Structure 1
Amino acid sequence: MQSKRRLSTHRFNLPVAIALVAGLTIPLDQAFSVDERRLTFYHTHTQKTLEVTYAVGGGYVDAALDELNEFLSDFRTGDTTTIDPELLDLIYEVRESLGSNAAFEVISAYRSPRTNEMLRSKSSGVARNSQHLLGKAIDVRLRGVPTRTLRDAAIDLQKGGVGYYEQSDFVHMDTGRVRRW
């Protein structure tokens, strides 16, 4: 079932509208093509994979969002939350900007309060009010893309927080305020 929630972009309608207003002829297959957003993941801790079309024609696919909530759950506790669809859009747009269709390697996504506190007790780099607690953050690599390049692409979008962890070889992306570290 498709959700009534709409994507945060109007890429599908804008080219068609411009062509119609300008009186241009465009092929029917382009005019009526459906904008699909597909992501592929490999979870580094569970070794599970997921390939999912999470949005079609400008709306989110509820069943796909449910799958993603489960896949991106706290792997330590099994706790789940609702993953922010704008986070999915963010990583999709970053990947698109790099001209890639490769899988994201997930290091961490949702964290339960218990997991976050445990990690905070071991490292000063874990935020008390982490975006991970809200389902608004993900730590990833993109296969075939250097993490430095992934970081730069995320920063260029200016759509949230971007952290670069060179030693651990991953990039943090979230839908909070624009910032970087």
Structure 2
Amino acid sequence: MNEHRTGPVRSAAAREAILTATATIFQRQGYDQLTIEGIAKEAGVGKQTIYRWWNSRGALIADCLTEGRLFPVDLAAPHTGDLVADVDAWTARVLSILASHNGESLLRSLVAAAAEDAEVGDHLSASLGVDRQLTERLQVGVDEGQLPADAPVDQLGQAIMGAIVLQVLSRRSDYSGPLRQLVRFILGGRSD
């Protein structure tokens, strides 16, 4: 009996090869040198195979980011009972990604890609834990009385992430301290 595999298994293998190639090239050369042609060559597939799953380089890199292939950082917001300290710890983790090799250029590139493709923006927000981990932690803060009952937790999470993105886009050199100060202030903690 011939056990030659075709169809979905082959597709899954090609998809995995593409994601692996993308992460490898990103780590080796950075986002700016990442091309669909280079990914196809590294993965051993045609460009049309890549475009079957992703409509842009940004969408592909967003999937790699979401799956944790680019940065080995746990972005879960801790639950220590101190909301301000927990969100500050989450912010520090996001900032550690930005401080890593290619971190800032990746974020700037993803923001540009998100301007053209809303799905990339959704992936970016999800991969950084804004939608789940941060918003859930803020909601626990509401439930525990650390934030007002009517606190707009979704908007608070987006505002914190927006402040991070704005600082990176402006290419300021030292934004970690001021961002963490802003988080403490927004959440009602001391800003010093």
> TM-score normalised to the size of structure 1?
0.30
The structure whose RCO (Cα within 8 Å, separation 6+) is larger is: 2
Structure (1 or 2) with the greater helix fraction: 2
Structure (1 or 2) with the greater strand fraction: 1
> TM-score normalised to the size of structure 2?
0.29
